């Protein structure tokens, strides 16, 4: 068989395998298929909530993309992982607050991006302060990991 025919045959084999890949993904048998990516996103979202509850800044910051943008309800913007992680380190060091998370929306676009929306209540009980928030997280998948690309906190009045 000539080199040209071998290349054509290999191309046909690869094309045939590519048509089988969506079926494998739909059944969830592949950890990197759409279903697998959705499960990995769920785990990352759970980690976001759990690390906030535990005030585990190191593990929370591991979820941040290097180009993350964070926006607080008052309009403070953190550009990049270093700025956002610096804020989180100080914020999580405080023990005078609580925060709830109720998932209201989850949209996944294949294995590339996702959006998660939470209803949240941030409170400082000793100060008698609470604030209802909508927290929108835009996720991107890079090197097999879901990372937060944008963390938008909006006050709900």
On whether both 53 and 105 belong to a single domain, the answer is yes
Which of 139, 154, 149, 155 lies closest to 69, judged by CA? 149
**What is the percentage of the chain residues whose pLDDT exceeds 70?**
80
pTM here?
A: 0.78
Residue 15's pLDDT is 34
Which residues are 107's β-sheet partners? 115
Q: Are strands 113-124 and 98-109 parallel, antiparallel or unpaired?
A: antiparallel
- CATH number of the domain to which 77 belongs: 3.10.450.50
Which residues are 36's β-sheet partners? none
On whether both 18 and 44 belong to a single domain, the answer is no
On whether both 88 and 138 belong to a single domain, the answer is yes
Average pLDDT, the chain: 84
Task: Provide the residue range defining the domain that includes 56.
Answer: 31-155
Q: How many degrees, rounded to 5, is the angle at CA 73 between CA 157 and CA 108?
A: 90
Q: Which two tokens stand for residue 5?
A: 């025919």
Q: DSSP letter at 119?
A: E
On whether both 66 and 122 belong to a single domain, the answer is yes
Q: Which two tokens stand for residue 79?
A: 């550009």
Phi, psi of 48 (to 5 degrees): -55, -50
Q: Which two tokens stand for residue 69?
A: 């943008």
Number of domains in the chain: 2
Residue 5's pLDDT is 42
């Amino acid at each position: 068989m000539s080199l040209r025919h071998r290349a054509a045959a290999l191309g046909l084999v690869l094309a045939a395998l590519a048509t089988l890949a969506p079926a494998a993904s739909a059944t969830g048998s592949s950890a990197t298929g759409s279903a697998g990516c959705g499960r990995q996103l769920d785990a990352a979202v759970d980690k976001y909530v759990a690390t906030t509850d535990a005030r585990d800044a190191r593990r929370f910051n591991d979820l941040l993309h290097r180009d993350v943008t964070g926006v607080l309800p008052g309009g403070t913007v953190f550009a990049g992982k270093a700025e956002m992680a610096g804020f989180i380190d100080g914020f999580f060091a405080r023990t005078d607050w609580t925060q709830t998370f109720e998932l209201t929306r989850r949209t996944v676009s294949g294995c590339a991006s996702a959006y998660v929306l939470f209803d949240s209540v941030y409170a400082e009980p000793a100060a008698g302060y609470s604030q209802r928030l909508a927290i929108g997280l835009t996720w991107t998948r890079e090197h097999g990991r879901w990372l937060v690309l944008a963390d938008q906190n909006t006050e709900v009045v």
